Amino acid sequence: MVSVFSPAKVNLFLAVTGRRADGFHDLVSVAAPLDFGDELRATPAQAGFTLACDDPAVPVDGRNLVLKAAEAFAAASGWKGGVHFTLTKRIPVGAGLGGGSSNAVAALRALNQLAGGALAEDRLAGIAASLGSDCALFLHRAPVVMRGRGERIEALPGPAAARLRGRRVLLFKPSFGISTPWAYGRMAAEAPAHYWPAAEAEARLAAWLGGDAPLEELLANNMEGVAFGKFIALPVLLARLRREFGVTARLSGSGSACFALRRDNGVTAPLLAAIRAAWGARCFVQEARFL
C-alpha cells in the first residue's frame, strides 16, 4: 500500500489576462502548496481502478480526477496492474483550493511508485497538464509561477520563495462553493471588464520577484470581481477583517475559500469568532503553513 499526501494550494497572485481560442483562459499566477490537505492511499488490486472516499459528497465514479488520472497513467505507461484508492477528504469542494487537481497528482505519484518509477517527471507533468489546468503545479512541493492556462510551471526564485516558506495562513470558506466553470464563464461573458492586461500583470509580478517587499504586497486576484458580484457575503466579511483586524485577506482562485496571512505571534481566536459570526457554524476554517 502506498500513501500520498495531497496538499491544498492558495493562489497568492492570480491575473486572468484573457480568453484563448481553445476556450481556456490565459493567466499569470503564483500558487503555493500548504501543509494541510487530503490523504490518498493506493492498494494493489487484481484489475481495474476503484475509489472510496469518506466524504459522501465526493463522486467515486469516472467523474473523479483520481480515476481519470489512473486511466491516463495506465495508457501512458502500459502498466497493467489494478488499484483500489481510498481518499481521506479534508480539502472542501468548490473552494478554489485545488483539492481535485491535487488528488489527481497524488494518484499519479502513487501509481508511479507502485509501477517502480515507470514514468519520468516530464511524462508525469504532461499527463497532469492534460487532466486540468492547475494539476501540474502539484508536482512541485514548493511555490510556483503558473502561466498559459496553468500548465506552464516554473519554480519561484529562491529569495522570493523564502518570503513565503513557513508563513501562517488562515483558510476560511462559507457553506456554499463556487463552480470554477461558472466563474470563468461569467468572466468571459462580461469581457473585458475583469481581465488584467498581461503586460501589467507580468510587470507587477516581476517587481515583487526582483525586490524585497513582503508577501502581503504581492496579493491580488482579478477573479474577485466576478465572485464578489454574486456572492456578497465574501466582500463584506473580507472588508470587515481588513478594517477591524488589519489582516490581509483575499479570495483563492475562483473561490469560495478565502485566506488571511498571519504573523507567527498573531492571535487567531478573535478572527475565528468574527468569521463564524458572519458565516455561521457550518463554515470551514483551517490554519496552515506554506510549504
pLDDT digit string, tens, across residues 5-48? 999 999 999 999 999 999 899 999 999 999 999 999 999 998 89
- Helix (H) or strand (E) holding 115, with range, is none
Query: Position of cell 481502478?
Result: 49
| Average pLDDT across the chain, whole number | 94
Q: pLDDT tens digits, residue range 236-267? A: 999 999 999 999 899 999 999 999 999 877 77
The pLDDT of 188-216, averaged and rounded, is: 95
Q: Rounded CA gap, 249 and 220, in Å? A: 10
Residue-level pLDDT at 248: 86
Identify the structural domains of the chain with CATH numbers, from first to last: 2-155 (3.30.230.10), 165-289 (3.30.70.890)
Give the residue from 269, 110, 94, 232 showing the smallest Cα distance to 175.
94
Q: Give the CB-side neighbour count of residue 198, counting CA atoms within 13 A.
A: 12
Q: What pLDDT was estimated at residue 264?
A: 79
Indicate which residues carry an active-site annotation: 9, 134
Q: Is 164 helix (H, G, I), strand (E, B) or coil?
A: coil
DSSP state of 162: H
Q: According to the model, what pLDDT value does residue 141 have? A: 87
Q: Report if pTM > 0.75.
A: yes
Summarize pLDDT for 107-139 with one digit per residue, the tens. 999 999 999 999 999 999 999 999 988 899 999
Q: What percent of the chain has pLDDT over 90?
A: 91
- Write phi, then psi, for 110 (nearest 5 degrees): -65, -45
d(CA 37, CA 114): 22
Angle at 248 between CA 242 and CA 250, to 5 degrees: 100
